Amino acid sequence: MKPTFKGTSFSITRRRFLQSAGTTSTVIWLPGMAYAQALEDVQEKLTGVSKWDLDTPALCVDLDHMEHNFSRIRTTTDRNGIGFRPHAKTHKTPAIAELQIADGALGICTAKVGEAAAMIEHGIKKVLMTTCNVTTHKISLAMELCKRSDQFIQAVFQESNARDLSAAAQEAGVIADVVVDVDPGGHRTGIAPGKPALELAQLVDRLPGLRQRGLLCYDGRVQHEINASVRRSQSVQAMEPAADTLEKMRLSGLNTEIFSGGGTGTYNIDHEIPGFTDVQCGSYLFMDMQYLANESLSGDDSYTDFKPSLTVLTTVVNTHIDGMATTDAGQKSLTIHKPDPKVLGESGVSYRTWGDEFGRITYDEPTRTYQVGDKLEVIVPHCDPVVNLYDVMFATRNNRVEHVWPISARGDAQ
Ligand SMILES: Cc1ncc(COP(=O)(O)O)c(C=O)c1O
């Protein structure tokens, strides 16, 4: 798979990520240079180098593993007769979104309007925003996105919001596509299934500025249920009211072309829900310690369906005390430690973040002893917030950097 990279069309200047993008042999120091030019320089200098020569902490993705995960989702959803619409909240990286679409995804999802803007700016037009836009600023931005992409869809779950979106769409001279977000019972977002959701869908259908496309229902509670058979039964049960709602919508003549939801924990369960069209899995392409704790439906006591592809490289900076070492990746590089990161390729070693800047490895019987300057690779606790910390991701194959991908939507929290 050859990704095409559109980042060079950037005109904005951005943080100087360059200090973190050097290698032991190449010092890159371009203060004040425009982002696009600086990025090109980094890409040129670091493509082909060994990942072990990158300065740390560095975010890496193993392409062979990621491609295995792509293929797992594609073949499973194909076999089960549904589609996949991966959640870009996980990677925030247009180059990856492009690969997912080239691999057969129906489009991508985003959580924030800022993420949607970053994707559309980079030519990724098929975007389903799974959160609704309620502030005036976000609604205007969403209408701007409708102008730039006729395949931008956003969620709605309140009548007043539907009316606001319709009015804004009319003012902007667009028709805004929406899906009704249905609450699976977790009460995070969404309208109650049944009559309330049906009436909202009917209202959306009548409003002049909106086009009703179907519904969305995501149950985050079940994704990390460790026991696979409990996960299956809880998920199908939680989604049942949304499926009934979809059927009511169909019977009343409404558009039911989209019934999107699910995630990495239920990608091979969601097709059991009547009317379900596509799974919004995000973490599957990277994996993390949280998801690895799940049992797989096939009986494995780890989530072996997907291979961990995302790692953070870190350097040992202190070995003064026996049985432990200090590293340069703490919470600012790995976020939370629930569960702890895992050091790849080592046994008898545990890793904890040690405040903001440092990590601590403790060991009983490591497979090797550590020296200051040694590099280690860790699987992260939870992939999404870790990716959000880095400007670029080093895509590697056989430990060599093949691409330097800008994480264009990092920090887009709005
Ligand atoms: C609306 C929505 N859809 C899908 C997902 C699935 O993500 P993952 O596959 O990473 O669990 C999430 C994760 O938070 C989400 O909020």
More confident residue, 64 or 31: 64
Atom of ligand 1 nearest to the CA of 280: 4
Check pocket membership of 282 for ligand 1, CB cut-off 6 A.
Answer: yes
From first CA to last CA, the distance across the chain in angstroms is: 32
Angle 267-273-279 from CA coordinates, rounded to 5°: 30
| pLDDT per residue as tens digits for the range 302-337 | 999 999 999 999 999 999 998 999 999 999 999 987
Atom of ligand 1 nearest to the CA of 264: 9
| pLDDT per residue as tens digits for the range 127-166 | 999 999 999 999 999 999 999 999 999 999 999 999 999 9
CATH number of this structure's domain 10-62+306-406: 2.40.37.20
What distance in angstroms lies between residue 161's CA and the mean position of ligand 1's atoms? 23
The phi and psi torsions of 286 (rounded to 5 degrees) equal: -105, -45
Residue nearest to atom 7 of ligand 1 (CA): 282
Residue of 72, 280, 288, 292 to test ligand 1 pocket, by largest number of atoms within 8 Å of CB: 280
The pLDDT score that the predictor gives to residue 38 is 82
The pLDDT score that the predictor gives to residue 4 is 32
| Burial class of residue 228 (count of CB atoms within 10 Å of its CB; 0-12, 13-18, 19+) | buried
Atom of ligand 1 nearest to the CA of 283: 10
Which residue type occupies 312?
V
| pLDDT per residue as tens digits for the range 338-350 | 899 999 998 889 9
Instruction: Work out the percent of the chain whose per-residue pLDDT is above 90.
Output: 85
Check pocket membership of 112 for ligand 1, CB cut-off 6 A.
Answer: no
pLDDT at 396 over 70: yes
Mean pLDDT check: name the lowest of 24-28, 47-51, 297-301, 367-371: 24-28
pTM above 0.85, yes or no: yes
Residue nearest to atom 3 of ligand 1 (CA): 280
More confident residue, 28 or 64: 64
Atom of ligand 1 nearest to the CA of 131: 1
Domain boundaries, the chain: 10-62+306-406, 65-292
DSSP 273-320: STT--EE---GGGT--HHHHTSPPTTS-SS-TTS---EEEEEEEEE--
Q: For tokens 């959580």, what's the residue?
A: 111
Atom of ligand 1 nearest to the CA of 383: 10
The pLDDT score that the predictor gives to residue 41 is 86
Q: Is 57 helix (H, G, I), strand (E, B) or coil?
A: coil
| Burial class of residue 333 (count of CB atoms within 10 Å of its CB; 0-12, 13-18, 19+) | buried
pLDDT at 52 over 70: yes
Confidence of residue 3 (pLDDT cuts 50, 70, 90): very low
The pLDDT score that the predictor gives to residue 357 is 97
Residue of 73, 87, 231, 292 to test ligand 1 pocket, by largest number of atoms within 8 Å of CB: 87
User: Taking residues 107-134, what's their average pLDDT?
Assistant: 97
CATH number of this structure's domain 65-292: 3.20.20.10
Q: Is 147 helix (H, G, I), strand (E, B) or coil?
A: helix
Task: Report strand pairing: 342-343 vs 400-406.
Answer: unpaired
pLDDT at 2 over 60: no
Residue of 223, 279, 387 to test ligand 1 pocket, by largest number of atoms within 8 Å of CB: 223
What distance in angstroms lies between residue 306's CA and the mean position of ligand 1's atoms? 16
Q: Is 101 helix (H, G, I), strand (E, B) or coil?
A: helix
Check pocket membership of 283 for ligand 1, CB cut-off 6 A.
Answer: yes
Check pocket membership of 131 for ligand 1, CB cut-off 6 A.
Answer: no
The pLDDT score that the predictor gives to residue 29 is 56
User: Taking residues 19-24, what's their average pLDDT?
Assistant: 54
Angle 329-68-282 from CA coordinates, rounded to 5°: 60
